[in-house]
């Protein structure tokens, strides 16, 4: 038994409306997907830049810590020399 007449026309109109809405939604989703992909690429690039900056800053921090350690060693040696020179000067004065 075939459907015909107004009922079939109504079903076709309803189906056409739904298909057109689905096509519109698919286009919108594709556009949004492209926008999101571009956003992800931008974030990945920014992440790489930040990782490089972090690595550079860590190297600078390590260098600064090494320099600080060297300064501490030199300061200890300076104090030791100052103490020894002071002791020698005291001995010289005691002779004088």
Cα–Cα distance for residue pair 91/96, rounded to 1 Å: 9
Q: What is the pTM of this model?
A: 0.57
Q: CA 72 to CA 26: how far, in whole Å?
A: 67
End-to-end Cα separation, the chain, in angstroms: 135
Query: Taking the domains of the chain in order of start, what are their residue ranges?
Result: 1-71
Enumerate residue ranges in the chain where pLDDT < 70: 1-4
Question: What local confidence, expressed as pLDDT, does residue 7 receive?
Answer: 86
Report whether 52 contacts 44 (CB < 8 A): no
């Amino acid at each position: 038994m075939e459907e015909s007449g107004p009922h079939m026309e109504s079903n076709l109109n309803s189906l056409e409306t739904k298909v057109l809405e689905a096509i519109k939604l698919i286009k919108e989703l594709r556009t949004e997907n492209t926008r999101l992909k571009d956003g992800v690429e931008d974030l990945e690039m920014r992440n790489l830049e930040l990782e490089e900056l972090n690595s550079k800053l860590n190297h600078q921090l390590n260098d600064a810590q090494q320099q600080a350690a060297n300064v501490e060693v030199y300061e200890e040696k300076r104090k030791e020399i100052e103490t020894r020179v002071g002791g020698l000067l005291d001995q010289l004065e005691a002779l004088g």
